[in-house]
Amino acid sequence: MKQIKNYDLEQLKEEMKSIGEKPFRAEQIFKWLYQEKVDSFDEMTNLSLELRKILEQNYTLNEYKILRKQEASDGTKKYLFDILDGNAIETVLMSYHHGYSICVTTQVGCKMGCKFCASTGIPFIRNLTSGEIVEQILAVERDTGVRVSNVVFMGIGEPLDNYDNVINAIRIINNPKGINIGARHISISTSGIVPKIYRLAEENIQCTLSISLHATTNEKRSEMMPINNTYKIEELIQACKDYIAKTNRRVSFEYALAKENNDNLQDAKQLVKLLRGMNCHVNLIPINKIENGKYTKSSNENIMKFRDYLNDHGIVATIRRELGSDIEAACGQLRRKSIKEDSDY
């Protein structure tokens, strides 16, 4: 069986042609899937009975089962979805004054090994397909009845390590005939896979690129993020400068502040030096403690001092709100789960 939600509109047109149908059927199917959000081919009533039957027999709608849903005191919701192959992934819905943001997962597990992130401690299993990424949005919208307005690729996994499926998912999310969320409301966060940053710059997609920087020296960054042994800070910053030059888009840098690790004035000074003159924004994240993690959150005072230093020296910096930490839904707290290994569903 093929997953019908794996195709972007152009690909679905080709697929329809390959089964002897007119390409405009793809647009009709897109509308049913992403605007009407039907849960069976049978409901696609402007398709012939015969075509509905062919679709039914050859394609799946891949709808997730909710294994668990938790709600934090701030209204953040965390879903554990059964993705129908024995694995479970987490997706988070956050409510902001400007609308709802969804944090989607891109891989079952993660290969990056960042020392401060809970998505790491568990082995990598596989990439999610485009359909499996898109389905997270549909499942959350179906469950809550809300319309998601922002998508952040900041759940489990490294989006640029699942490049093709992530790009394809963005095309479905962004298409006015698909989920119809503007590219400027879509952010991809990466630990810094430099060649893929160059590829992304060529895609002509207006989404926001966020870089998980977290440290300003190679020594410290390599200690926190093994990917830094492959792509050093200088290369990463150069890639960002080239990305900005090519796309004219502002890049975001994420910097998780950990006590006595990367939160003193010297670090702030180095960060200013590193980013000076770039069209960028720094998102400071009070680091969230994870099980067995050695990093702890900086004091509020230090976090504010760090922010003020950056702002006073020409770098726009804001502190990310800590949403969902009481249900382990905050940055770095999501984990892949195996359905068998966790018995309290």
189 binds ligand SAH (CB under 6 A): yes
For 88-116, give one letter per residue: b (16+ CB within 10 A) or e: bbbbbbbeeeeebbbbbbbbbbbebebeb
Active site residue 90: yes
Could you tell me the smallest distance in angstroms from the CB atom of residue 161 to ligand SAH?
A: 8
Q: Do residues 172 and 123 lie in contact, with contact meaning Cβ atoms separated by under 8 Å?
A: no
User: Least distance from C-beta 34 to ligand SAH, angstroms?
Assistant: 24
According to the binding rule CB under 6 A, does residue 212 interact with ligand SAH? Answer: yes
Which segment (37-45, 142-150, 175-183, 189-197) binds ligand SAH by CB under 6 A? Answer: 189-197
Closest chain position to ligand SAH (CB):
332
Closest alpha carbon to 61 in 80, 77, 82, 37? 37
- CB under 8 Å to 53, separation ≥6 — which residues? none
* 45 burial type by CB count under 10 A (0-12 exposed, 13-18 middle, 19+ buried): exposed
User: What tokens does 167 get?
Assistant: 């790009």
Residue placing its CB nearer to ligand SAH in the complex, 51 or 240: 240
Among 174, 228, 288, 302, binds ligand SAH (CB under 6 A): 288
Examine residue 116 and tell whether it contacts ligand SAH (CB under 6 A): yes
- Closest approach, Cβ 20 to ligand SAH, in A, equals 42
How many C-alpha atoms does 223 have within 13 Å on its Cβ side?
A: 10
Given the complex with ligand SAH, which of 51 and 118 has the nearer CB atom?
Answer: 118
CA-CA distance, 122 to 87, in Å (whole number)?
Answer: 12
Phi, psi for residue 154 in degrees, rounded to 5: -135, 15
Which range of residues in 79-87, 111-119, 129-137, 266-274 is near ligand SAH by CB under 6 A?
A: 111-119
Q: Does 158 bind ligand SAH (CB under 6 A)?
A: yes
Number of residues that bind ligand SAH (CB under 6 A): 18
Catalytic residue among 103, 114, 240, 331: 331
Binding status of residue 252 toward ligand SAH by CB under 6 A: no
Name which of 34 and 295 has its Cβ closer to ligand SAH. Answer: 295
Considering only residues 322 to 341 of the shown chain, the ones binding ligand SAH according to CB under 6 A are 331-332
Q: Is 191 among the residues that bind ligand SAH (CB under 6 A)?
A: yes
Could you identify the residue written with the tokens 């050859």? 58
- Residue 133 sits in the site that holds ligand SAH (CB under 6 A): no
* Residues from 58 through 77 that contact ligand SAH (CB under 6 A): none
Name which of 112 and 233 has its Cβ closer to ligand SAH.
Answer: 112
Cα–Cα distance between 209 and 190 in angstroms, integer?
A: 8
Q: Give residues with Cβ within 8 angstroms of 91, minimum separation 6.
A: 78, 79, 81, 102, 103, 104, 105, 136, 139, 140, 155
Verify binding: residue 254, ligand SAH, rule CB under 6 A.
Answer: yes
Q: Which contacts of 15-20 are long-range, i.e. CB under 8 A and separated by 24 or more positions? A: 19/54
d(CA 144, CA 129): 24
Q: Phi/psi at 62 (nearest 5 deg)?
A: 55, 45
Least separation in angstroms between residue 217's CB and ligand SAH is: 17
Q: Which residues bind ligand SAH (CB under 6 A)?
A: 112, 114, 116-117, 154, 158, 189-191, 212, 254, 256, 285, 287-288, 290, 331-332
Residues serving a catalytic function are 90, 331
